[in-house]
Amino acid sequence: MSGTNKILLRIQSAHGTKRIETELASSTRALYELAKAAFQFDNYEFALFRERNFTKEIVSAGSQYVKDIGLKHGDMIYLREVEGPSTSKATERSASASSLASSHSSSASLAGFNTDAVASTSAKSSSFAAASSTLLPQEDAVDVELYKQDGRIQRKRDEKLCRHNSNGCCVHCSPVEPWDENYLKEQKIKHFSFHSYLKKLTSGADRGKFVALEDLNCKIKTGCRDHPPWPKGICSKCQPSAITLNRQQYRHVDNVMFENTGIVERFLNYWRTTGHQRIGYLYGTYEIHPDVPLGIRARVAAIYEPQQESNRDTIRLLDGADDGDVDEMAKLLGLQRVGWIFTDLLSENLANGTVKHVRNIKTHFLTSQECILAGHLQNKHPNRCKYSSNGYFGSKFVTVCVTGDEKKQVHMEGYAVSAQCMALVRDNCLIPTKDAPELGYIRESTDKQYVPDVYYKVGGDLLTQNEPIQ
């Protein structure tokens, strides 16, 4: 076969991007074999797709060829590992090793198809692609609505700078993008919204064709055959990259709003009665926030207080058997768990009703233990996102702290930890310090766990490694 029939394809997966060389006359079964060899998989528990959102599946068959599915030189295809019960996985378990390549992404009856069954093959292919798309987590309704919006900020005609009539437009009055730094600075918006961030990523010439949001990984990749497992060996292919802590530009939730004051007043009654601190889970919905371009607001309708033991300084959550029932009841009411709330209140003058102002720029806003708990809860409630290979990226789960302000009055502050913090907590790399609540510590590497180097800026350009981080 002539060299002109050979094409180069790129395969993107959660394990990275690989390149394979195939021929237009090769079968899709051979394409799966090349993908398996490129990623060094031990089995065929994966499927290949034409689209980033894992639709238009490429069905493995000896009678279907690369040229038939429209692949061209340089095209990108997407690999997704099959999880949970599915037709393809059931076929793999029952098929022999020699027939795995022909049946791993189709039903058992599809393995014996020939060229006379083109219409039937197409029907089964489309139905399986639809079934595969249902494996992806369904995004929140607010995300689906925000995808439809342009997000550009309209500006009125400037009487001093504009030299055109009311029907014209120039650089002084044309719409600006939702991530425009000057506009955000004028509106005193510190972080732009997550959907503004997505619009920025997809605004280039490629229209987001190569956008892939992946969570940070702090663990060694397993299965490397070039050396013995850790701690006897490690290489650049399996070693996680060093991490430089940076401020996250975007935020998933831009505002937290309680439907009425009675929700918070009932929650604070426990502290007013006992003087002990309290924790609760926030139940509500996510909606579009009108004050931030493409922003999201968490609307809280109820607070559930789980079983806990507390005193003036500490709170310990107990294993609650009712949490699942509460989530199910909230789902029936159209609500979901959107965050958690805790108190840190110390009375200063009972007669005046004032509280101490203990959280500020000179001390801390959140302790390391609170950041770790927030990261743990955010990992338990990930954000569904179609631009991620596994269907999840970041989290909309918010943290609300009830404490004293500068006027020594009770007030609330909302927070969310960054994706870097979530990854460090998820992979058990970040721990609190004993004597300084505002500081955290990165674990040292041991024989059981490898911890990547973590850097942060001190005084501008100075980088410090694996020491207390603030």
Mean pLDDT of 136-141: 81
Mean pLDDT of 124-139: 53
Q: Is the pLDDT of residue 129 over 80?
A: no
Distance spanning both ends of the chain, measured CA to CA: 62
- pLDDT tens digit sequence for 51-60: 888 888 888 8
Q: Which of 438, 436, 401, 440 is nearest to 420 (CA)?
A: 440
Mean pLDDT of 404-419: 92
Alpha-carbon dihedral angle through residues 300, 301, 305, 310, given to the nearest 10 degrees: 40
Q: Specify the higher pLDDT residue, 209 or 403.
A: 403
- pLDDT tens digit sequence for 181-211: 888 888 888 888 999 999 888 887 666 677 8
Instruction: Give the pair of three-digit tokens for residue 257.
Output: 């709003």
Q: Is the pLDDT of residue 122 over 80?
A: no
Cα 93 from Cα 107, distance rounded (Å): 12
Highest mean pLDDT among 113-127, 200-214, 265-279, 308-322: 265-279
- pLDDT tens digit sequence for 322-349: 788 999 999 999 999 999 999 999 998 8
High-pLDDT (> 70) share of the chain, %: 84
Q: Is the pLDDT of residue 128 over 50?
A: no
Q: Is the pLDDT of residue 375 over 50?
A: yes
Q: Is the pLDDT of residue 427 over 60?
A: yes
Mean pLDDT of 271-276: 92
Sole residue written with tokens 């980088």: 463
Mean pLDDT of 239-256: 91
Question: Can you count the helices (H) and strands (E) in the chain?
Answer: 11, 22
- pLDDT tens digit sequence for 92-101: 333 333 333 3
Mean pLDDT of 417-437: 91
In this prediction, residue 458 carries a pLDDT of 66
Q: Which of 114, 433, 139 is nearest to 286 (CA)?
A: 139
In this prediction, residue 281 carries a pLDDT of 95
Q: Is the pLDDT of residue 105 over 60?
A: no
In this prediction, residue 69 carries a pLDDT of 85
Domains of the chain: 7-81 (3.10.20.90), 250-456 (3.40.140.10)
Q: Is the pLDDT of residue 89 over 50?
A: no
- What single letter denotes the amino acid at residue 226? D
In this prediction, residue 60 carries a pLDDT of 82
Cα 252 from Cα 19, distance rounded (Å): 34
| Close Cβ partners of 407 (under 8 Å, ≥ 6 residues apart) | none
- pLDDT tens digit sequence for 140-165: 999 999 998 888 888 888 878 888 88
Least confident among 87-101, 121-135, 202-216, 373-387: 87-101
Q: Which of 211, 201, 205 is nearest to 12 (CA)?
A: 211
In this prediction, residue 465 carries a pLDDT of 55
In 61-146 the beta strands, taken as DSSP E runs, fall at 76-81
Least confident among 62-76, 196-210, 214-228, 268-282: 196-210
pLDDT band at 464 (very low <50, low <70, confident <90, very high): low
In 236-357 the beta strands, taken as DSSP E runs, fall at 243-244, 250-251, 255-258, 279-289, 295-304, 308-310, 315-317, 336-343, 347-349, 354-355
Q: Is the pLDDT of residue 114 over 60?
A: no
Mean pLDDT of 8-17: 87
Strand partners, 46: 81
In this prediction, residue 74 carries a pLDDT of 85
Mean pLDDT of 423-432: 92
Least confident among 200-209, 413-422, 447-456: 200-209
High-pLDDT (> 90) share of the chain, %: 33
In this prediction, residue 404 carries a pLDDT of 92
Highest mean pLDDT among 115-119, 244-248, 280-284: 280-284
pTM: 0.69
Q: What is the dihedral sign for C-alpha 404, 405, 410, 416?
A: negative
Cα 417 from Cα 374, distance rounded (Å): 7
